[in-house]
Chain A
Amino acid sequence: MMDNFEKHIRENKDFFNDKKADKNKMWDAISKELDTVESKKVIPLWKSTGFKIAASIIIILGLLTIAGPILLHPNNAGIETSYANKEVLDIEFHYKNLVEHQVKLVQEHPALSKEDKKEFLSFMQDLDDEYDELKIEMKKNLDNERILEALIGNYKKRIELIENLLKQINSSKKINEDYGYTL
Chain B
Amino acid sequence: METIVQNTHKELVEKSKLGDRNSQYKLYELYVDAMYSISMRMVGIKEDAEDVVQDSFIDAFKKINSFKYESSFGAWLKRIVINKSINHLKVKRIALTPIEDHEYHLKDETPEPIEKIDLIKVKLGIEKLPQGYKQIICLYLIEGYDHNEIGEILEISTSTSKSQYHRAKKKLIEIIKGL
Q: How many residues of B are in contact with the other chain, CB < 8 A? A: 36
Complex contact A30–B62 (CB within 8 A): no
How distant is the Cα of A20 from the Cα of B35 in the complex, in angstroms? 10
User: What per-residue 1/0 map shows which CB atoms of B47-88 lie under 8 Å from chain A?
Assistant: 001100110011001100000000000000000000000000
CB neighbours of B1 from chain A (8 A): none
Q: Are A26 and B50 in contact (CB under 8 A)?
A: yes
Interchain CB contact under 8 A, B117 and A4: yes
Contacts A4-B117, A10-B144, A16-B123 hold; do A30 and B34 have CB atoms under 8 A apart?
no
Known contacts being A16-B41, A19-B40, A34-B58, is A9 close to B142, with CB within 8 Å?
yes
Contact of A5 with B119 at beta-carbon distance under 8 Å, contacts A13-B142, A21-B33, A27-B25 already known: no
Decide if A18 is an interface residue (CB 8 Å cutoff): yes
Option from B50, B123, B142 in Cβ contact (under 8 Å) with A22: B50
Contact check, A16 vs B142: say whether CB atoms are below 8 A apart.
yes
CB < 8 Å neighbour of A21 from B24, B36, B62, B117: B36
* B142–A19 touching, CB < 8 Å: no
Contact A5–B113 (Cβ < 8 Å):
yes
Chain B residues close to A by CB (< 8 Å):
19, 21, 24-25, 28-29, 32-38, 40-41, 49-50, 53-54, 57-58, 61-62, 113-114, 117, 119, 122-123, 126, 141-144, 169, 173
